[in-house]
Amino acid sequence: MTITDAPKILTARLDRYADAHTIARYEETGGYQALRKALTTLSPGDVADEVKAASLLGRGGAGFPAGVKWGFCPPGVWPRYLVVNGDESEPGTYKDRLLMERDPHQLIEGVLLASYAIGAAQAFLYIRGEMPLAHERVAQALNDAYAKGYIGRNIMGTPFSVDVVLSWGAGAYIVGEETALIESLEGNRGMPRLKPPFFPAAKGLYLQPTVVNNVETLSNVPWIVSNGAAKFTELGADTSKGTRMFAVSGHVKNPGVFEVEYGVTTFRDVIMAPVYAAGVRGDRKLKAFIPGGASSPWLYEEHLDLPLEKVIVDKAGSMLGSGAIVVMDETTDMVKACLSVVSFFAHESCGKCTPCREGTTWLRQILERILAGYGRPSDIDLLMDVSDNISPGLVWPPKQTTICPLGPSATAPTASAIRRFRHEFEAHIDRGMRARGEQPPPAQAVAEPAFAGRDHGGLE
Amino acid sequence: MARLTTENVGVAKEIISRYPRPKSALIPLLHLSQEQDGYVTEEGMQHIAELVGVTPAEVLGTCSFYEMFKLEPVGRYVVNICNNVSCMLCGSDELIHHAEQRLGIKVGNTTPDGTFTLESVECIAACTEAPALQVNYRFFNKVSTDGFDGLIDDLAAGRLDDDVPAHGTLARVRQHIPDDRRAGSIPPEGQTEPAWMHLNEPPASADGGEPS
Ligand SMILES: Cc1cc2nc3c(=O)[nH]c(=O)nc-3n(C[C@H](O)[C@H](O)[C@H](O)COP(=O)(O)O)c2cc1C
Ligand code: SF4
């Protein structure tokens, strides 16, 4: 096992102190010193350079380097805005809420440093609606930080001025997608915009250059500014530097949110080690695990020794996504697990694109009928066919016939479950047919994909 | 009582003042209206439309997209049981079934006395605490069927009133930006580079345009 004694960047304070959310505790433990250092000794460009040198990968799902993203704002176009994505709702994901509830000042200091680095005229901190405690803690933290002169006009007596506005959602997973979040912040239905042209860095909030970053991403920034990029890149491996929070849930003995060294720690470590999730519940066998939230293709026992490293997991055909590991033991009905994830996407599709709106609904209905015992032998290929219409070829990284990646995400569980556990689908269908007095077809080896080489109208 | 009260109009105006465009305040104002009345009323939406300067249809258009806004009265306590994958693996099906039995209603309904509404919802970001539920968006973790019964008893008897306010109330702390600290909301038009953009740069490059 590779359990390292890397320092905790994000959770050290909240691990140690029950009152980590108060400004008194935050200041006492070095809080707002990174901001002071920046405003007294560093230029905005210096802060941006430091974060770029740290190669801090975004923690919201796509894993794009934050420093590089900050550099995408077109020169000479003002104002720029900063939008903080606190909409955490990808199934399996639980870490941003913890950071907002338990250490809101760390996030706020990160927001201020990012605003300084990019030249933001105003910052908007968007919290998921279903998180009133996070909202209360962040509101209190903002009020206290304003009173102390850390936010607002002439911060710490310097010319740097920026308001941080708390905003909140009202229940819609898709609003976590950055362009949908921007629509929501403009007071609209939270439906994604087409990229291009609406890349936030070019045309974001009110069509101005906008940087959207995740809560965990920005919570790293005070540490990077205080300790320097070099200290940050000492931790981690390859492309994945620093530490990262992973929520391990499902069939494990000790589910929890663990901050581990990024790029080095393996799936086996976080799932099996006694200090982390402590192994599969009841010492049963592991059947599969979701490595990076509901949108990620499933991985299996043979992947346990992969390090939690972005590029390595990408190459293995999945992703670390939002740092959400969901473990399924040998008793799991994979058709049911598949339906659970597919239903989520069907419910949360915003309805803008036909393949996603109709496809996810059909996937759900077919899976429901299979589980209810009314499946047809042709249904398994039909599931793959519908999935292929949403994401041509069912390859990784997924191709897209839709405006945003939600539609293709819904094909990940279906393709994963059918490729690995086709016999479980067949068993449900056979059971239903026998119950109705029909004779199931003899088992046959089916070569996938049944739709290979089909014309997708130039979409591939 | 469905238009915003005078006090809430004050709150609404403060919220609107924080955004470069008034329409951006729509979701927070719909929450305010729901906090006042327990659900979002037509008069409430009309009033919000006046405050924000859009049509009532636009307010309804936004409102109807978001799950949390209820266009009809719901129970004092809205019980949301997560049905997503982590909770499903840890027994949320049984919990939901048990909740239906205990409350005597199916998911999506409200008890005849108007106390409880039962919903089965998507991931609530408590995956490591499965099976999890929320009552008026307050979290309850690792809920067993017995634990559920105890929770319902406590709620019905008013023993959790301090922790769980009536449906509609979300955060009980509001952001307030004091006038003397306000940097101001910056509209998208007519802006130039912030004055502080070259703070702490060495003098040689102080006139050097864009930082890279
Ligand atoms: C369907 C969908 C849902 C998403 N949900 C979230 C979310 O809840 N939180 C988040 O930070 N990013 C989410 N993202 C990713 C955002 O679009 C965006 O990439 C991210 O907020 C950027 O921040 P980062 O670069 O710091 O990771 C989602 C993306 C998609 C396509
Ligand atoms: S892919 Fe789905 S969620 Fe995304 S824009 Fe299209 S319909 Fe909406």
Q: Which amino acid is at B172?
A: R
Cα–ligand 2 centroid distance for B156 (angstroms): 41
Inside any domain, residue B173: no
Which DSSP letter does residue A403 get? S
Residue of A404, A409, A411, A459 to mutate, ligand 2, most atoms within 8 A of C-beta: A404
Residues B51 and B104 in one domain: no
> How much is the pLDDT for A445?
64
Does some domain include residue B197?
A: no
Instruction: Domains for chain A: give ranges and CATH numbers.
Output: 12-233 (3.40.50.11540), 243-329 (3.10.20.600), 334-435 (1.20.1440.230)
CATH number at residue B137: 3.40.30.10
The verdict on residue B200 lying in a domain is no
Q: What is residue A3's predicted lDDT score, i.e. its pLDDT?
A: 77
In a shared domain, residues B56 and B121? no
What is the residue-level pLDDT of chain A in tens, covering all 460 positions? 567 788 999 999 999 999 999 999 999 999 999 999 999 999 999 999 999 999 999 999 999 999 999 999 999 999 999 999 999 999 999 999 999 999 999 999 999 999 999 999 999 999 999 999 999 999 999 999 999 999 999 999 999 999 999 999 999 999 999 999 999 999 999 999 999 999 999 999 999 999 999 999 999 999 999 999 999 999 999 899 999 999 999 999 999 999 999 999 999 999 999 999 999 999 999 999 999 999 999 999 999 999 999 999 999 999 999 999 999 999 999 999 999 999 999 999 999 999 999 999 999 999 999 999 999 999 999 999 999 999 999 999 999 999 999 999 999 999 999 999 999 999 999 999 999 999 988 876 666 655 544 555 444 4
**Domain identity same for B115 and B60:** no
Instruction: Give the best residue of B86, B92, B93 to mutate against chain A (max A CB count within 10 A).
Output: B86
Q: Is the dihedral of CA A59, A64, A66, A72 positive or negative?
A: negative
Question: Is residue B203 in some structural domain?
Answer: no
**What pLDDT is recorded for position B75?**
97
Average pLDDT, stretch B181-193?
96
By most ligand atoms within 8 Å of CB, the mutation choice from A357, A401, A411 for ligand 2 is: A357
B150 and B82 part of one domain:
yes
Kindly state whether residue B14 falls inside one of the protein's structural domains. yes
Do B10 and B51 lie in a common domain?
A: yes
Task: Kindly state the tokens that stand for A422.
Answer: 């086709």
State which amino acid sits at residue A192.
P
- Do B50 and B88 belong together in one domain? no
Task: Note whether B25 and B82 are same-domain residues.
Answer: no
Q: Please indicate if any CB of chain B lies within 8 Å of the CB of A458.
A: no
pLDDT of residue A441: 85
Last residue of a domain, one of B142, B157, B172: B157
Chain B residue with Cα closest to A330: B89
Structure tokens at B118: 């039962």
Give the pLDDT of residue A458: 47
Q: How many CB atoms lie within 10 A of CB A65?
A: 18
Which two three-digit tokens encode residue B97?
A: 């079934």
Backbone angles phi, psi at B132, to 5 degrees: -120, 155
pLDDT bin (cut points 50, 70, 90) of residue B212 is very low
Half-sphere exposure of A318 (CA within 13 A, CB side): 29
How many C-beta atoms lie closer than 10 Å to residue A434's C-beta?
12
Residue-wise over A224-261: b if at least 16 C-beta within 10 A, else e?
bbbbebeebeebbbebbbbbbbbbbbbbbeebbbbbbb
- The DSSP line for B117-179 is EEEEES--S-GGG-S-EEETTEEE-S--HHHHHHHHHHHHTTTTTTTSPPTT---SS-----G
Tell me, yes or no, whether B82 and B146 share the same domain: yes
Q: What is the pLDDT, as a whole number, of residue A450?
A: 53
Q: Quick one: B121 and B153 in the same domain?
A: yes
A124 DSSP β-pair partners: A83, A165
From the list A41, A171, A191, the residue facing B200 with the nearest CB is A41
Whether B87 is in a domain gets the answer: yes
Confidence at residue B204, expressed as pLDDT on a 0 to 100 scale: 67
Q: Are residues B84 and B56 in the same domain?
A: no
**Which of chain A's residues have a Cβ under 8 Å away from the Cβ of B198?**
43-44
Distance, in Å, from the CA atom of A68 to the CA atom of A81, rounded to the nearest integer, reads 16
A36 in contact with B, Cβ within 8 Å: no
Dihedral sign of CA atoms A433, A438, A443, A448 in order: negative
The domain that holds B14 is classified in CATH as: 1.10.10.1590
Q: Measured in Å, how far apart are chain A's first and last C-alpha atoms? A: 41
A142 CB within 8 Å of a chain B CB: yes
Structural domain count of chain B: 2
pLDDT at B206 over 80: no
Please say whether the beta carbons of A410 and A356 come within 8 A. Answer: yes
Residue of A85, A224, A390, A409 with the most ligand 1 atoms within 8 Å of its CB, for mutation: A85
Sequence-ordered list of residues with C-beta below 8 angstroms from that of B198, at least 6 positions apart, any chain: A43, A44, B205, B206, B208, B211
B88 within some domain:
yes
Which domain-ending residue is among B21, B40, B65?
A: B65
**Distance to chain B for A127, nearest Cα, Å:** 11
DSSP B6-67: HHHHHHHHHHHHTSSSGGGGHHHHHHHHHHHHSS--HHHHHHHHHHHTS-HHHHHHHHTT-T
Specify the DSSP class assigned to residue A299.
B
* Per-residue pLDDT at A50: 98
Range of the structural domain that residue B93 is part of = 77-157
Q: Which residues of B touch A328 (CB under 8 A)?
A: 89
Residues in chain A: 460
Beta carbons within 8 Å of A246's beta carbon, 6+ residues apart: A95, A257, A258, A259, A260, A270, A308, A323, A324, A325
Q: Three-class SS of residue A385? A: helix
Q: Are B35 and B24 in contact (CB under 8 A)?
A: no
**Ligand 2 midpoint to CA A303 (Å):** 31
C-beta atoms of B127 and A247 within 8 A: yes
Q: Are A327 and A248 in contact (CB under 8 A)?
A: yes
pLDDT at A281: 97
Among chain A residues, CA nearest to B203: A43
Is the ipTM of this structure higher than 0.90?
yes
**Which of B116, B136, B157 is the last residue before a domain boundary?**
B157
Whether residues B86 and B152 share a domain: the answer is yes
Q: Which of A434-443, B34-43, B85-94 has the lowest mean pLDDT?
A: A434-443
Is residue B184 domain-resident?
Answer: no
Q: Residue A324's beta-bridge partner residues? A: A247
The kind and range of the H/E element at B88 are helix B85-89
A397: closest CA of chain B, how far (Å):
23
B142 and B98 in a single domain? The answer is: yes
Centre of ligand 1 to C-alpha A178, Å, is 6
The size of the A-B interface in CB pairs under 8 A is: 254
Q: How many Å lie between the centroid of ligand 1 and the Cα of residue B69?
A: 23
Tokens at B200, concatenated: 């702490």
pLDDT number for residue A451: 56
**Among all ligands shown, which has an atom nearest to the Cα of A191?**
2
